[in-house]
Amino acid sequence: MLDLHVHLLGHLERTGSQENIRGFLDKAVEAGLSEIGFTDHDDYFDHLDFGLIREVAAEYPHLRVKVGLEADYREGEEGRIKSLLSRFDFDYVIGSVHEIRGWLFDMPQEEQAHYIKEPDRMYKDYFRLLEKAARSGLFQIIGHLDLIKIFGVRPKTDVRELAAGVLDAVQESGLAVEINTNGRYKPVGEWYPEQKLIEEVIRRNIPLALGSDAHVPENVGRDIQEVAALLRKMGVGQIVSFDREKKILINL
């Protein structure tokens, strides 16, 4: 099983030392994973020695270790992101939207702001940015597709309709969508994306990637077996990973 979304540095509570890398890799082995991918936030780029991850990985011959990044998509910053990504030979980059015109909407202190906004407007603003992220050519995976639901606010319009533009862009750009299990541990209490959207992604034959979004070693691989079981039940036979940006299909 694979966990392609893991934060070695958390939110800078840790360094990217050998010991800390080993802490995550030991946990991956313990959780029965065959592959783990590190995807720290691009803001912490200069705190990381990406080459060191590949060095330490050599101590774990039975574990595939990928080096990626979770890059924040912000409108107008495509050039900055592109030059950042050119500085290392990443296996893949997860493109995520955590911010709508300067509003860091997934921070706990922003919960109240979600309740006073018009839900459809909020979802449309979010998905419009995510669609631009998907069309930017910068990423291989779209992260936590419906993160905007984090505090449990639902749109009036069917979410599949609101997400259609993003999913068209994902399909046309050949990207993968992740199932991110971290949402279950947020106020909304369910994975990203929700079941209806997972079904829609599968219906469109969009490849799926799996990630826990672990910010501490203890959470590596959390719920991943459960997602795999659900996908098998839904008739999905393969998930994806990436090797220096090349898509790899892995049997479930």
Write out the residues near Zn ion by the rule CB under 5 A.
70, 96, 213
CA angle 7, 100, 160 (to 5 degrees): 85
Q: At closest approach, how far in Å is the CB of 241 from Zn ion? A: 17
What Å distances lie between residue 102 and 74, 75, 97, 105, 164, CA to CA?
9, 10, 11, 9, 24
Return the structure tokens found at 60: 């774990």
Decide whether 108 or 237 has the Cβ nearer to Zn ion.
Answer: 108
Decide whether 131 or 213 has the Cβ nearer to Zn ion.
Answer: 213
Decide whether 71 or 231 has the Cβ nearer to Zn ion.
Answer: 71
Q: At closest approach, how far in Å is the CB of 94 from Zn ion? A: 7
Residues with Cβ within 8 Å of residue 100, at least 6 apart in sequence: 122, 125, 126, 129
Percentage helix, strand, coil, to 5, in the chain?
Answer: 40, 20, 35
The answer to whether the beta carbons of residues 40 and 7 sit under 8 Å apart is yes
Q: At closest approach, how far in Å is the CB of 60 from Zn ion? A: 22
CA angle 128, 210, 16 (to 5 degrees): 95
User: Euclidean distance between the first and final Cα of the chain, in Å?
Assistant: 8
Q: At closest approach, how far in Å is the CB of 96 from Zn ion? A: 4
Q: At closest approach, how far in Å is the CB of 9 from Zn ion? A: 11
Decide whether 8 or 239 has the Cβ nearer to Zn ion.
Answer: 8
Decide whether 96 or 241 has the Cβ nearer to Zn ion.
Answer: 96
Return the structure tokens found at 4: 């392609």
